[in-house]
Amino acid sequence: MAKARKPLKTANLIQIGGDHYNTPIQHWDFVIANGVPYMEAQIMKYLLRWRQKGGVQDLKKAQHFLDKLMEVNKNYRVPTGE
């Protein structure tokens, strides 16, 4: 029988990979707290990290997600509140 893993206190205490996610407010916490949809969260992720991690390639990734978001929502109209 496999030994059960002890649950982590919080995933925010663990860093996997580079330090580009080491910020005062974790991206995933903001996304969860504000109910940001997947495509918009991906755009934000790349925009927030481009200087620390991927440079212009991350900006291109953000643009690629934005292009797809606009493609699938080409008929969407933002409510004006009027």
The answer as to whether 49 is a domain residue is yes
CA atoms of 9 and 4, how far apart (whole Å): 15
Per-residue pLDDT of 26-82, as tens digits, reads 888 999 999 999 999 999 999 998 998 889 999 999 999 999 999 998 877 766 665
Q: Is 61 helix (H, G, I), strand (E, B) or coil?
A: helix
The answer as to whether 36 is a domain residue is yes
Give the count of domains, the chain. Answer: 1
Q: What is the pTM of this model?
A: 0.70
Per-residue pLDDT of 12-33, as tens digits, reads 777 766 665 567 788 889 999 9
The answer as to whether 10 is a domain residue is no
The answer as to whether 48 is a domain residue is yes
DSSP per-residue string spanning 12-46? GG---S-GGG--SS-HHHHHHHHT--HHHHHHHHH
The answer as to whether 59 is a domain residue is yes
The answer as to whether 41 is a domain residue is yes
Residue ranges making up the domain that contains 66: 30-71
The answer as to whether 82 is a domain residue is no
